[in-house]
Amino acid sequence: MQYYPQHLDAAAQTALLGAIREIIAAAPLYTPAMPRSGKPMSVRMTNAGPLGWVTDKEHGYRYQATHPVTGRPWPTIPPLLLDLWDGVSGYPHPPEACLINYYAGDAKMGLHQDRDEEDFAAPVLSVSLGDTGVFRVGGKSRKDPTQKFELKSGDVFVLDGDDRLAFHGIDRILPGTSNLLPEGGRFNLTLRRVTSRIYLNS
Ligand code: MD3
Ligand code: FE
């Protein structure tokens, strides 16, 4: 994996936050639920792009073209993020999904693999904004030892190769570690390819 600490400066973070606020105005954060149990996740989510990652009790983890609550198509991915993908992903086709996770003070995300995409050859690009997140990453088996990292506002991560299927999660966020969000908390954006099909002219 490639770690770009503080890749986005304060001005770029503010610009990106503005773009996220616009996405949320059109596609509000909603509370996803775990497959089968229906247990609500503590992280709230929305998406931008042709496809978005969603989960609910009835249909579980999946990508779909519309917001599960409003039924509308997701807003487009901001140009700033498409440029970032072009600059650091090393992948010659644009992302199809931008998942926006919002962690309020007490939110966390358990250890998991990202395997709802068809194409594991494409990297996943992550951008952190706001309060620091305590990130845990291990190996391709749940039993592998894990390492902790602090993901700070402006940090960019590119997960590719073997790391693409590593178990990972967010143990907790550290409230009061950033002034970017007046309401506190942390945004994480992940850019992904979902399908293994490449369309011309896109
Ligand atoms: C390591 N999000 O949305 S991003 C997720 O901070 C997710 O919100 C976390 O895990 C967050 O699925 C972590 C960093 C990240 C993303 C994808 C990975 C780390 C990864 C894929 C493989 C290994
Ligand atoms: Fe993940």
Q: Which of 101, 102, 134, 192 to mutate to test the pocket of ligand 1 (most atoms within 8 A of CB)?
A: 101
Using the mean position of ligand 2's atoms as its centre, give its distance from the Cα of residue 112 in Å: 6
Radius of gyration over every alpha carbon of the chain, rounded to an integer in angstroms: 16
**CB of 24 within 8 A of CB of 44?**
no
Does any domain span residue 62?
A: yes
Total tally of structural domains belonging to the chain:
1
Task: Evaluate whether residue 201 is within a structural domain.
Answer: no
Kindly state whether residue 197 falls inside one of the protein's structural domains. no
Instruction: Give me the pLDDT at residue 119, please.
Output: 84
Question: Which residues, given as ranges, of the chain have pLDDT below 70?
Answer: 200-202
pLDDT tens figures, 66-94: 999 999 999 999 999 999 999 999 999 99
Residue 179 lies in a domain: yes
Q: What sign for the dihedral angle of Cα 160, 161, 163, 166?
A: positive
**What pTM did the predictor assign?**
0.97
Question: Can you give the pLDDT at residue 22?
Answer: 98
d(CA 186, CA 104) in angstroms, rounded, equals 7
Q: Would you say residue 136 lies in a domain?
A: yes
Question: Nearest to residue 154, comparing CAs of 183, 181, 192?
Answer: 181
Q: How far is the C-alpha of 138 from the C-alpha of 149, rounded, in Å?
A: 11
User: Which ligand lies nearest the alpha carbon of 190?
Assistant: 1
CATH of residue 6: 2.60.120.590
In a domain, 199, yes or no: no
Check residue 200 and give its pLDDT: 67
The boundaries of the domain holding residue 142 are 2-192
Among 7, 124, 140, say which to mutate for ligand 1: greatest number of ligand atoms within 8 Å of CB: 124
The reply to whether 34 falls in a domain is yes
CA–CA separation, 137 vs 111, rounded Å? Answer: 8
For residue 106, tell me if it sits in a domain: yes
pLDDT at 201: 59
